[in-house]
Structure 1
Amino acid sequence: SSIHASRCVHVIYFVFFHLLQNPNFIIEGERACIVDWESYLVSRSFPAASNPRTKRILSRVFTFPLSIAKALEDLYLKDEKKYDYIMRERTDPIVVSVVGARAEGLLPLIVWRELAYCFPDNRFEVVVSGPDVRKDLHGTSVQEERDKLVRVHYFHGNFEDMREEIETSLSPDLYAVFNSGIGHNDEIYTGWKHAMACMLGSGKPTLLTCFDEQDLKDDQAGIERLCIEEMSDKSLEYVVGPSKNIFGSCFGDVSVDKLGVRMIFSNSHRMICESSSK
């Protein structure tokens, strides 16, 4: 929602101007520790890394690149041979396609650059697409000139309509869908089903995150419904099963929905899905 996006922008400004300008953050050649939030912030030399307030504020924006980084690491640990591209040095970048972007579509490049600290031997192309991406950014990209480790591309519109345009030159190694709510109700399911079928049907791993445990159960049911209705020729596999995301946001929002009034946390839970032919 616009309120959610606006709150995220204010948090980003706080982080950017009060924390991210600290020169001690540049740790060339060292791989950040992606075990949990405190270990990560300490390994990145953030000031007051053990302070709960620091963790809440930074996790609000860093949850997006860190959830991706943890997913990539877990894929590699699951099957080193199949996902060896994640850890080995390679000349071509790792491509991550963030589909249906909302708040994450507002993140500045310096936030996405955390991926480079998690995998210093790799370069990244981050593709951010969705109807909530700013129209004036469509078809543009941004990249730091200093070392060119991370480039972010923007596409405005529905993923299923732009897929060919995007993936002709940016074929993804991983899809990421943050807090889709595909299992929340029929309206949201219908809005997501074509894009989700494209991703899950590709055979590439797809990271799906949710606001809480109930949201996770609903989305799992939504994904399994999708496979029956739209992908009957495919078998769905949970490469990483539905579980708590250690890099979920620690900054809560109040939600009013069918479950009543509750606190929700962006990317609190996750699953990584992949399909194969039957």
Structure 2
Amino acid sequence: MSLRGFKDKGRSDYVASKLMVGAFETRASFDVKSLARFGGIILRRRELWSELFELSHFSDIRPSEEIWVLNRVRDLADFVLKMEPTLRKAASSICGQCSATVRRQLASGAAARPWMRISAHHIRRHSTTKDQRRATATPKNREFSTSSVKKSEATAPITNKSSPSPLRLSQDNLFHPFSKSPVPEFRQRAAFMRQHAYCPHPDHQQTKLPTIAPKPDDPEAAAKGIQPPQHVNFECPDCGLPVYCCEEHWMDDYEKHLEVCDTLRQINEDDHDLRSGRVFEEGNLPDLQMEHAAINMTNWDTFMYTREFDAVNSDRQMRQITRLLTYPVTIGSILHELSPYSIKAGERMTTEGLKSFSALRYNLHPPKSGRGTGVGELKPEAPAVRIFILGARAESSLPRPAWVQLAHMFPEARLHLIFVGPESMANRDDEFPLPERTPSNPFGAVVEDRVWYKMKISTIVDYYHTVHQTQHFAPYDPYFDCFVLFHPGLGHPASSHEWEETLPLLLETKVPIISTGYTQFDMERDVEWVNKKSKGEFDILLQPGENVFRSLRWDLNDMDPQDVSCGNWGVWAFRGKRYETATRDA
């Protein structure tokens, strides 16, 4: 049976392509001209294979060209076999009227194409570059449309060829020295480091007190450097960051540098990964939690598994997604009834902490009411649990789906997140100008009440002690309120003065206060400062220690490349002291 006769019987192209593959395998007596014509007929409306249809109209096919024709038809058959289910699925979603319009358009386009004679040189050139031809034969910006006018389409060809193409970095090409990075931002960061960061070699005199590690036991021995301070200039070939003033100091202090070199290289690759242009599949966050499915908060892996996250297949993807989720999950891990922190030995929660967090959990996990949907069964609802995030910076500009994960951890509770701080609108330029201050909105708060049907987010650009003194949010209830301080720098020399007026106001509310730190030293410095300022006036609710849900990604301080930290490394909690009523026999 001839191929042409098979086509005239009206059988599907899919079955025909299978027959053609069988013809190749059995070496049936099909002449090359018929194969070429049949290959063109199958997809005669596709410009990708138009040369086959054109070739089938000529009788002077040379023997040297037969191999090329056979290869092209074989590729065509493989293409049809792979694409048939996808094409049929796409066509099934088009109504009859639209499909008729498409057929008329494609038919008119096919009829309008002139059939040109293909020279042997043209065929041979195609045989050597068939993959390249396959990728460029069809216009990229006009693949499938119901419009006959290109200018009216959203996918019309782009006429401006001067627009820069987006940067693409493969996963095995992420390491680049900052000064030679293909990303301009990193070249600027390298220049910034060379202007502000100082060489850490002990031969140099110190320029500032240590803020990333405890003070040395012998300050005089640590200050024995005789050379003047000098900015960094030499880039380590292993981590790609400027860390020393010269190669000699880098080699002399190499053992000390090895302590952070691997971490610095990891930071380098992670930063380039963020700008590599890849699709961040790990950013597809899950929706509502199943009603009877408990969340396991032992660690990041069990949390993501029980929350039904998509599989995270690499350590780098895990570092990127935990950098976002560490803020909401840190709050949820402490307030949740299945918290990894408890009063058991080694789990850091104190009896006072159990009292305070149990009060919050009573409203975060309300019991089932059992009421129906009728009007006669309506009852007053409890107010939303307010979580005040003070000194907000980066966390206030997190993508809102990341904060919605906190609402999914407490599906039955209403939440109100309140970001307060002078930098709470950083990286949110699209929302400027701020609302006017009116009697109903005295602090010009930016209110997002459609983040989730049980979550609202408000942002106030002001110091908390200013808001507190107006009694705008008073009264404070230990059953409904909680304060969170992400990396507040309570004991940092540059920021501690900003908290001196706020700390007494927080303690007098008797509401739990959760605080985090970049490093162990940063957290211990905050605890020491609170002890110094308010000794005997507060109770520890959660002992200081490493956060189970800290960010797995490390961050770099451009002012000091030796200062390596990660988001929410440590966490602790405290509260203003409450004096219980005691009875005494007269």
TM-score interval for Structure 1 and Structure 2 normalised by the shorter chain: 0.7 to 0.9
CA deviation profile, 1:5-35 (whole Å, cap 9, x unmatched): xx99x96xx999744446x544453453322
Contact between 2:476 and 2:509, CA under 8 Å: does it hold in 1? no
Counterpart check, 1:40 vs 2:303: yes
Alpha carbons of 1:257 and 1:213: their partners in 2 closer, same or farther (altered >3 Å)? Answer: farther
What is the aligned partner in structure 1 of residue 49 from structure 2? none
Comparing 94-103 with 188-197, which one deviates more in the overlay? 188-197
The letter of the residue matching 1:141 is V
SS state at 1:97 partner: strand
Summarize the alignment of residues 61-210 of structure 1 with structure 2, pairs less than 5 Å apart. 61-73=324-336, 74=339, 78-79=354-355, 82-83=359-360, 84-89=362-367, 91-134=382-425, 136-137=433-434, 138-144=444-450, 148-163=453-468, 164=470, 166-168=472-474, 173-185=481-493, 187-210=494-517
Once structures 1 and 2 are overlaid, which stretch shifts more, 53-62 or 89-98? 89-98
Q: Which residue of the partner structure matches residue 573 of structure 2? A: 272
Amino acid at match of 1:275: G
Query: Could you tell me which residue of structure 2 aligns to residue 261 of structure 1?
Result: 562
> 194, 201, 214: which one pairs with 2:521?
214
TM-score (norm. length: structure 2): 0.40
User: 1:136 offset after TM fit, Å?
Assistant: 3.8
For 1:50-73, what per-residue CA distance to the aligned partner results, in whole angstroms no more than 9, with x for missing partners? 632222111111111111111213
Which protein has the bigger strand share?
Answer: 1
Gaps of 5+ in 2: 1-188, 190-269, 344-353, 368-380, 426-431, 435-443, 580-586
Residues 1:195 and 1:238: Cα distance change in structure 2 (over 3 Å): same
Match of 2:545 among 233, 238, 243: 243
| Higher alpha-carbon Rg | 2
| Aligned-partner SS, 1:154 | strand
What is the SS of the residue equivalent to 1:112?
Answer: helix
What CA distance in whole angstroms lies between the structure 1 residues aligned with 2:312 and 2:500? 40
TM-score, normalized by length of structure 1?
0.81
**Shift of residue 101, structure 1, vs aligned partner:** 0.2
- Partner secondary structure for residue 127 of structure 1: strand
* Structure 1 residue 180: Cα displacement: 1.1
Moved more, 167-176 or 188-197: 167-176
In structure 2, C-alpha distance between the alignment counterparts of 1:59 and 1:266, rounded to whole Å: 9
In structure 1, the partner of 2:56 is none
SS of 2:548 mapped into structure 1: coil
Distance change in 2, residues 1:271/1:50 (3 Å): farther
Deviation at 1:257, TM superposition (A): 7.1
Q: Distance in 2 between matches of 1:250 and 1:199?
A: 30
In structure 1, what is the Cα distance between the partners aligned to 2:496 and 2:474? 27
- The runs of 5 or more residues in structure 1 that have no matched partner are 229-233
- Larger RCO (CA within 8 A; separation ≥ 6): 1
Equivalent position of 1:231 in the other structure: none
Aligned length: 261
Equivalent runs, 1:4-19 vs 2, <5 Å: 18-19=281-282
Contact 2:288 2:411 in 1 (8 A): no
Deviations 1:179-204 (A, max 9, x none): 1111121x411111222222223110
CA distance in 2, matches of 1:150, 1:104: 16
User: Separation in 1 of the partners of 2:571 and 2:358?
Assistant: 23
Task: Return the offset for 1:220.
Answer: 0.6
